Structure formats: C-alpha cells, structure tokens
C-alpha cells in the first residue's frame, strides 16, 4: 500500500501508474461546433487530456484520487474540456486542487439544473457538491493540472452527461472566456451558416 506518491506537475505522471489519454475523437458529441471538430480530427485528432487514477484504497471511509492534465486549445470557439461526469453514488462530493494553468469548473445540479462556472487554476481549490455534474475547461495557454479527491464509493457516471451534455458552454470571445447557454451558442453557429 503506497502512502506517498511522487508526481510530475508538468506531465501529470505518477511513478508506477498508467495515464489514460483522451483525444478529441473520444468526445465526439461534447463540443457544439461539429464543423470545427471534423477539421481538427482530419488535422490529427489532438490530445485533450490525460488522467491518472489511484483507486487502490477501497471500503468504508477510504478515498480515491486522480490527477488530470487538460491541454490548452479550442474546437472552434469552445475551449478544450473534459467529458464531465456525475458520480454513480450521487451524494458523493469531490475536492479539486488546482496545481498549474488557468481554467474553469462547470457545475450543473442534476435536479435543479442550477449551473456555476467556478475558477479552477493554480493555487485554487474547488468543492464539487454531490448530485452535481462537473467538467473542467482550460481557458489558458498552458496545461491545466489538478488533483481530484473523492470517496472510494463515489464511482463515475459518464452516460448521463453523454445523453444531456452540459447546459452551458465556455467559448472564446475577443480572446477571453465567456460562459453562455449551449442553446444560444448553437443558434449563433446556425446563424453563421446562413
């Protein structure tokens, strides 16, 4: 049982643990601008993020934890982001600790639909309440690196987010991040086609 693990804050690597890579092709329905997405897939299918999960302590009171490295970049005007998820055990909360870079955590409560975009950057800690979908967004020019710590009983539910996506998007407007309703952004994209 490892009680201390060295990690590399630049690469997100943890000695002895594999990193899972997610490329743009792994998130085909997450981004709104499908034309921009197709162009990026043709141009090489960029790496969006890497995660390392430490899930070796299990049972009542135990914790799982993981390190994420989310690359900078955009799909059209939308910043690179993670797939996002609920916890399978909905009451489970999570703490995210920002280590490097600049970004946002999108939160969306499952029942009320209440949304928040919370800064997640170096030297910032974010509390994700239970029953809340969460997704990280890199709004900066360097990798966004963070730890997440949660109950070992939490589990991950990607399917519910996959079906409904998030109600809000984070897009670049004159070089700055703007949080807007997905429906409004989709309407803007449609208008641009005309």
Stretch that binds Fe ion, among 30-38, 93-101, 106-114, 158-166 (CB under 5 A): 93-101
Alpha helices (H) along the chain: 34-42, 159-164, 182-193
Give whichever of 78 and 94 is closer to Fe ion, judged by the CB atom: 94
Give whichever of 154 and 171 is closer to Fe ion, judged by the CB atom: 154
Give whichever of 94 and 108 is closer to Fe ion, judged by the CB atom: 94
Among 33, 78, 94, 108, binds Fe ion (CB under 5 A): 94
SS (H, E, C) 148-162: EEEECCCCCECHHHH
33 touches Fe ion (CB under 5 A): no
Stretch that binds Fe ion, among 57-65, 76-84, 86-94, 105-113 (CB under 5 A): 86-94
Tell me how far, at minimum, the Cβ of 66 lies from Fe ion, in Å: 9
Q: Closest Cα partner for 125 from 96, 94, 92, 101? A: 96
Residues 99-128 interacting with Fe ion (rule: CB under 5 A): none
E-state strands within the chain:
20-23, 47-54, 63-70, 74-75, 78-79, 94-100, 102-109, 115-121, 125-128, 132-138, 144-151, 168-173, 176-181
The residues that touch Fe ion, with contacts defined as CB under 5 A, are 94
């Amino acid at each position: 049982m490892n009680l201390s693990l060295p990690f590399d804050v630049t690469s997100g690597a943890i000695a002895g643990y594999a990193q899972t890579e997610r490329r743009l092709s792994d998130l085909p329905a997450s981004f709104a601008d499908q034309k921009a997405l197709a162009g990026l897939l043709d141009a090489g299918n960029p790496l969006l993020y890497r995660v390392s999960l430490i899930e070796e302590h299990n049972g009542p009171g135990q914790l799982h934890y993981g390190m994420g490295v989310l690359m900078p970049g955009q799909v059209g005007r939308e910043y690179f982001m993670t797939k996002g998820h609920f916890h399978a055990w909905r009451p489970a909360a999570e703490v995210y600790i920002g280590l490097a870079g600049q970004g946002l955590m999108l939160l969306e409560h499952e029942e009320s639909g209440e949304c928040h975009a919370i800064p997640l950057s170096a030297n910032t800690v974010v509390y994700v309440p239970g029953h809340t979908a969460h997704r990280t967004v890199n709004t900066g020019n360097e990798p966004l690196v963070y730890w997440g710590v949660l109950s070992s009983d939490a589990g991950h539910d990607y399917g519910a987010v996959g079906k409904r996506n998030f109600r809000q998007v984070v897009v670049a407007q004159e070089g700055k991040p703007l949080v807007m309703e997905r429906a409004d952004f989709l309407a803007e994209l449609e208008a641009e086609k005309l």
